């Protein structure tokens, strides 16, 4: 059989070259984009590799042994990441989330965490430093992560039924090991722990109630994420999206729920508490209810491209600027300049115009590359 060739360009388009602006744009901590949205949340993808093959993210047929993952020299080093992060913090970032791919696969990730934990806001406060993981290596690493300065973790888990979970991660990984990872994170003090469940209608929607029952009363916050049309490889179909409103109705019928106020502006999850006080859940309605209006998230890809939206087709090449010898002031100026030009609001527009993923320039990058 002929070997399938995957064009690298389809998944990692070359970034737009970034120039240092002619006029210095000093960091005031209040940079805003064209829709008046501040810069508060930075998600950093530390690797494009993963030991799972969740079909909605890294389907096996595409991410096989021939997939052109980035060679080590292409990745931002820890020093480069920290240097960039410092400039983002000067512009108003207060929360950093490490993600991937699977972030715990990046060698010596604790060293990066130590460096990021040492950063301070202009007011001298530490950052909200967190990490999203599939949990497979958490039992082994939780203590070291906490000691390095990580504050909390979000663990992805798509069901409690072992057969369903093994099928969804598509590498036959057992659910018990992820649950052990969550326990280890709690013991290490990496809480409050959030547990993310991507819901695919017809695949794991029957796991909603067992998951809710299991995590109720544990102090962990279970969040249900609508299956998104991110990337270009997961074969997304609208009829596989289960609207969050249905999730809330379903759980509420057995365990009455009360709506809570958002805990912070730009918060992606709508929060609900159990009426009897036994905990909280969240729903992330990325498809059925756009939350672009106060989206304050920037994403730094594994190779140092700045993406202004999860659905962007191109990033801004900060690594080129960094490796070209730019000063801190030039980096800060470039970041401000890029953010000030931002007008992305894909989810809001999704309902109005059907995106054509096959149109030139419309190829969206994969979530494993820019981070969830
Ligand atoms: N590997 C880590 C993990 O799974 O937690 C971190 C990276 S993963 C890309 C980040 C988050 O994105 C996970 O919670 C995952 O479930 C979610 N995700 C990936 N593809 C998705 C999709 N098509 N729709 C909704 N959520 C998705
Ligand atoms: Fe890996 Fe996370 Fe994507 Fe699953 S969702 S394939 S664990 S990066
Ligand atoms: Fe933010 Fe883009 Fe998602 Fe809208 S679609 S909430 S702009 S990342």
In Å, the largest CA–CA distance within the chain is 61
**Predicted local confidence at residue 9, as pLDDT:** 39
344 lines ligand 3 (CB under 6 A): yes
Distance 2 CA to ligand 1 centre (A): 31
Which pLDDT value is given to residue 352?
A: 67
Q: What pLDDT does residue 328 have?
A: 94
Domains and CATH numbers, the chain: 39-370 (3.20.20.70)
Q: What pTM was computed for the model?
A: 0.93
Per the CB < 8 A criterion, the answer to whether 357 and 233 are in contact is no
Q: Please name which ligand lies nearest the alpha carbon of 53.
A: 2
pLDDT score at 353 = 58
d(C-alpha 215, C-alpha 114), whole Å:
30
CA-to-CA distance for 227 and 201, rounded, in angstroms? Answer: 9
H helical segments located in 238-362: 244-254, 318-323, 328-340, 346-350
pLDDT score at 369 = 80
Q: Select from 51, 52, 135 the residue to mutate for testing ligand 2; criterion: most ligand atoms less than 8 Å from CB.
A: 52
Sign of CA dihedral 49, 55, 57, 59: positive
Closest atom of ligand 1 relative to the 57 alpha carbon: 20
| Rounded Cα distance, 25 and 210, in Å | 52
Considering every ligand atom shown, identify the ligand nearest to the alpha carbon of residue 297 and give its number: 3
Measuring CA to CA, how many Å separate 131 from each of 25, 38, 146, 248, 353?
A: 30, 22, 11, 26, 33
pLDDT of residue 267: 81
Å from CA of 174 to ligand 2 middle: 15
350's CB contacts (< 8 A; 6+ apart) are: 229, 287, 290
* Residue closest by Cα to atom 7 of ligand 3: 345
Beta-carbon neighbour count of residue 30 at 10 Å? Answer: 9
pLDDT at 371: 73
* Residue to mutate (ligand 3; options 346, 350, 352, 364; most atoms within 8 A of CB): 346
What is the position in ligand 3's atom list of the atom closest to the CA of 312? 2
SS3 readout for 139-159: HHHHHHHHHHCCCEEEEECCC
Do β-strands 297-300 and 280-284 pair in parallel, antiparallel, or remain unpaired?
unpaired
**Segments of the chain scoring below 70 in pLDDT:** 1-11, 24, 351-363
Pocket-forming residues, ligand 1, beta carbon under 6 Å: 50, 56-57, 99-100, 102, 132-134, 156, 196, 198, 225, 227-228, 230, 234, 367-368, 372
Q: Which residues contact 148 (CB under 8 A, 6 or more apart)?
A: 110, 111, 113, 114, 117
* Ligand 2 and 272: CB distance under 6 A: no
């Amino acid at each position: 059989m002929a070997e399938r060739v995957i064009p690298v360009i389809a998944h990692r388009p070359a970034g737009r070259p970034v120039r240092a602006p002619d006029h210095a744009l000093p960091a005031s901590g209040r940079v805003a984009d064209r829709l008046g949205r501040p810069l508060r949340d930075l998600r950093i993808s530390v690797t494009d590799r993963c030991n799972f093959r969740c079909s909605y993210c890294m389907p096996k047929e595409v991410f096989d042994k021939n997939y052109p993952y980035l060679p080590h020299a292409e990745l931002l080093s820890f020093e480069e990441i920290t240097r960039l992060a410092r400039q983002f913090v000067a512009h108003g970032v207060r929360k950093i989330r490490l993600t991937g791919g699977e972030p715990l696969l990046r060698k010596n990730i604790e060293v990066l965490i130590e460096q990021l934990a040492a950063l301070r806001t202009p007011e001298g406060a530490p950052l909200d430093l967190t990490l999203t993981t599939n949990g497979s290596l958490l039992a082994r690493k939780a203590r070291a992560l906490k000691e390095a300065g990580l504050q909390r973790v979000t663990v992805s888990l798509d069901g409690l039924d072992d057969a369903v979970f093994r099928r969804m991660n598509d590498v036959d990984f057992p659910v018990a090991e992820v649950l052990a990872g969550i326990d280890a994170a709690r013991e290490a003090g990496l809480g409050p722990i959030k547990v993310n469940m991507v819901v695919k209608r017809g695949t794991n929607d029957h796991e909603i109630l067992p998951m809710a029952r299991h995590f109720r009363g544990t102090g962990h916050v279970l969040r249900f994420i609508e299956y998104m049309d991110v990337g270009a490889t997961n074969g997304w179909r609208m009829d596989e999206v289960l609207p969050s409103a249905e999730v809330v109705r379903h759980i509420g019928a057995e365990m009455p729920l009360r709506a809570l106020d958002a805990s912070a502006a730009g918060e992606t999850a709508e929060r609900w508490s159990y009426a009897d006080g036994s905990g909280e859940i969240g729903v992330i309605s990325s498809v059925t209810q756009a939350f672009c209006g106060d989206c304050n998230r920037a994403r730094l890809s594994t190779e140092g491209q700045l993406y202004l939206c999860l659905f962007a087709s191109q990033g801004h090449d900060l690594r080129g600027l960094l490796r070209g010898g730019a000063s801190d002031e030039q980096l800060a100026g470039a970041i401000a300049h890029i953010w000030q030009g931002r007008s992305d609001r894909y989810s809001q527009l999704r309902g109005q115009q059907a995106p054509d993923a096959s149109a030139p320039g419309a190829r969206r990058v994969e979530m494993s590359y820019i981070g969830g």
